[in-house]
Every structure is written in structure tokens, then in C-alpha cells.
Amino acid sequence: MHIPDGFVNAPVSVAGAVVAVGGLAVCSGRLGSSIRDRDIPLAGLAAAFFLVLEAPIFPIGVGTGGHLLGGTLAVALLGPWLGPVVISVVLVVQALFAGDGGVTALGVNAVNLALLPALIGYPLILGLRKLLPRTKVAVVAGCAVSAVIAVIAASVLYSLEYAVGGAAGVPAATVAISTIGTYSIIALFEGLVTGLVVAALLRLRPDLVRVGRHLTAKAQT
């Protein structure tokens, strides 16, 4: 879902950059009160993991590609402030060194792939955590379901951005059908991977899963 250079026009790219800079500034400002010592090395490992996770890319026929996103997993492990920052760093590395996503579209990509999971995926996880039993299985299920919804939401936002400022000469309806259709399938795999990673960490190192803090606190009481 990385938007390449020239796929959307300058106004959309600039608007995306403004929103991304503002959103990441808020995230960075909130890190001081929420970051834990263990989050620093975890953030580095997570960034490397997401680079590998997003590496398999296949074209979806409209000038872009499909791949796993990892945004909801990032906020589940690192929280809604550090998670978007880590994903944004990954996006910069991909754009500059792997040619995955355009440099001029970095802001739009950051909104779609880094900030949206914090705005949709993380609140969904917390909401499901309140509704479901206080168990590891419930946390895993909440993360998986939230990942599915966040990916589909990102594909819809991507399609709207192209509808507003598409510059590739492809009909907006074609982009929407291809992108949302493809990512509806990818979302299922995203949910599966997110659930498996969270389940493994809850079993081995539950303290590393920010959305599972209540389980750790319960076990210590």
C-alpha cells in the first residue's frame, strides 16, 4: 500500500505531510510519559521485524503493491505513541533504500500505515479488551480482529486519497476495487500474523506486550 512518487498530486502529498508531521510530533511529545526502558531495544527489534514483514510485495495491478502492514502489531507492543514513530522510521528506510514507496508520498504513507493504526487499531484493542474476558486468548483475539479492521480502513483511506488527488491516470473506481479487494484478503493474513506474534510474546515475555499489561499485573497480585 506504499504510494509511489507521482501516484497522487502535490496537494494531497503536502496535506499528508502536514498531517503526518503533526501526528508524529504529538506522538514524540507523549513518549516521555509513556516509554519504558525495555521499549528502546524492543523498538529496534520491532523495526527490523517490520522491515522483513513488509518485504514480500506483489503488484495489485494499479501501480502499487500489496503487503503486510504491521501497524496494529506495532501499537499493540509499543503503544500508540512509540508504535507510529517506529513504523514511520521503517517507511523512511524503505523509501530511501528499498524503493518501496515514494519520497514525496512519505507523509501520506505515514498517515495510512503509521498513524491510522494508532487512531483505529489501538482504541479497538482497548475496547475489545474491556468487552472480552481478561485472558490471554481474549487479548490475542482483540489484536487480531483490530489488525484486520485497521488494514481494511487503511485501504479505504488510500482509495479516498487517490479519488481526491489521483495523478496516475487510473480510474478511481479501479484503484478502490483493486486496493480494497486485495487488502481485504491481506487483512486476514495480517490478523493471523498479529495474533500469532502477540500469542507467542504473551507466552514467553508478556511484559513486552503493552496491551497485555493487565495480565502481567494480575499475575503479580
pLDDT at position 48: 85
Whole-angstrom distance, CA of residue 27 vs CA of residue 159:
25
On whether the CB atoms of residues 107 and 13 are closer than 8 A, the answer is yes
Please write the tens of the pLDDT for every residue from 42-76.
788 888 888 777 666 666 655 556 778 889 999 99
pTM for the whole structure: 0.89
Whole-angstrom distance, CA of residue 6 vs CA of residue 8:
6
Please write the tens of the pLDDT for every residue from 186-202.
999 999 999 999 999 99
| CATH numbers and ranges of domains, the chain | 10-220 (1.10.1760.20)
**Residue 56 phi, psi dihedral angles, 5° rounding:** -65, 110
Cell readout for 214 is: 493487565
Please write the tens of the pLDDT for every residue from 12-29.
999 999 999 999 999 999
Long-range contacts formed by 21-25: CB under 8 A, 24+ apart: 21/107, 23/84, 23/110, 23/111, 23/114, 23/115, 24/84, 24/85, 24/88, 24/110, 24/114, 24/115
| % pLDDT > 90, the chain | 63
Please write the tens of the pLDDT for every residue from 106-145.
999 999 999 999 999 999 999 999 999 989 999 999 999 9
pLDDT mean over 138-167: 96
Mean pLDDT is highest, among 43-57, 66-80, 149-163, 164-178, for 149-163
Instruction: Annotate 67-105 with b (16+ C-beta within 10 A) or e (fewer).
Output: bbbbbbbbbbbbbbbbbbbbbbbbbeebbeeeebbbebb
